[in-house]
Amino acid sequence: MPGHHPTDHDRAKRHLLKTGVGCLCALSLAGWPGGNAFAKAGNPGVGLVRPRPGTWFTKAANNRVQCELCPWQCVLSRGQTARCRVRQNRNGVGHTLAYANPVLVQEDPIERLPFFHVLPGTRTLSISTAGCNLACKFCEVWDMALVDPDEVHAYDMPPDTVIDHAKAARLACVSYAFGEPVVFYEYMRDTAERAKAEGLKNLLHTAAFIEPKPLRELSRCIDAANVDLKSFEPAFYRDICGGELEPVLDSLVLLREAGVHLEITNLLIPTLNDDPRMIREMCSWIRDHLGPDVPVHFSRFYPLYQLANLPQTPVSTLDRARETALEAGLNYVYVARVPGHVGEDTYCPGCGDRLIERIGFIVAENRLVDGHCPGCGEPIPGLWN
């Protein structure tokens, strides 16, 4: 597997992409197999906000409240809103403005999140609200995440409606993704508990900028988490993301210890976080603290938002990062957003055989047998059934 080079099969796959199959990767998200269940939500409306008392608030002096959900620990006077835009002091009581009002509701291939070791080839219902407790200059959903909830269209979708739709559409999972799920914690937790009771899996894609206690509570009903590890440099987190690195590392360790299936995404941005030394250090930390079997996705950056002046990530940079991770001893290393790349596929760390072949979001072949390599019997970590 280390140093895997394109074969004739790989070249044929890339040619297939160029001649038309690649367009299948841009899957339509407008179709709703569960029609009637989704109709209960009605049409989206601007400013749909119904404040309700939230959790992880404590009382402070002079009718202030302190939010203890994330490391910012915002202390809020009456009427004041936290930096995430969705947690607020209303008459001396901490409230959430992000309950049952998702601005994003869509059905996705599970590979889009990305999860490569969770139910390959299936689809999931993704939801997200407005708000975020970071301020990344490369945010891909800034018009959703970095705005107030009363400024955007939102659906009326209580947890039961979310579950009804997922079941009507015959989906196996509900995903809390694309925006930052930490800020709609209560909505996510209540939905996840209902999903778990109905036999659905809960998937989380997050920057994991959250305090240990609420994360530990949430981990009881989360089956899999993909964490954006944006860099291994504290300065990058402070200057480019408006956050801190150390709490994210703590969250990764906590999720791993809690038995949540864990995957990591690292978006490589030219000149900012693509230094080979830093990537090597990050991969060594992952190996030593999380284990060599945690899948890592090196994702391609495209110019947008406040970093529109930077170029897209060269494929050669992604190739070097993948080689570095494999050399560091990581067993499952992927390249994201380069359809047709050999780094989209899953290989057995035991015998090197290709186990899962992907073309963008499409699973072209899955050779796993009960989560094992059919050739050498190597167990492959993940949620496969």
| SS (HEC) of the chain | CCCCCCCHHHHHHHHHHHCCHHHHHCCCCCCCCCHHHHHCCCCCEECCCCCEECCCEEECCCCCEEECCCCCCCEECCCCECCCCCEEEECCEEEECCCCCCCEEEEEEHHHCCCCCECCCCEEEEEECCCCCCCCCCCCCHHHHCCCHHHCEECCCCHHHHHHHHHHCCCCEEEECCCCHHHHHHHHHHHHHHHHHCCCEEEEEECCCCCHHHHHHHCCCCCEEEEECCCCCHHHHHHHHCCCCHHHHHHHHHHHHCCCEEEEEEEECCCCCCCHHHHHHHHHHHHHHCCCCCCEEEEECCCCHHHCCCCCCCHHHHHHHHHHHHHCCCCCEEEECCCCCHHHCEECCCCCCEEEEEECCEEEEECCECCECCCCCCECCCECC
Q: Which of 113, 111, 117, 114 is nearest to 382 (CA)?
A: 117
Q: Which domains does the chain have, with CATH numbers?
A: 8-13+100-366 (3.20.20.70), 50-96 (no CATH)
Give me the pLDDT at residue 353, please: 98
Q: What is the pLDDT of residue 41?
A: 64
Please report the pLDDT score of residue 43 as a whole number: 76
Quick check: pTM over 0.75? yes
pLDDT at 385: 87
Tell me what pLDDT residue 173 has: 98
pLDDT of residue 350: 97
Q: What CA–CA distance (Å, rounded) separates 235 from 380? A: 35
Mean pLDDT split into 10-residue runs, the chain, 385 residues: 48 42 32 45 82 97 97 98 98 97 97 97 98 97 95 96 97 97 98 98 98 98 98 98 98 98 98 98 98 98 97 98 98 96 97 97 97 98 96
Give the pLDDT score at 150.
Answer: 93
Task: Specify the pLDDT at position 356.
Answer: 98
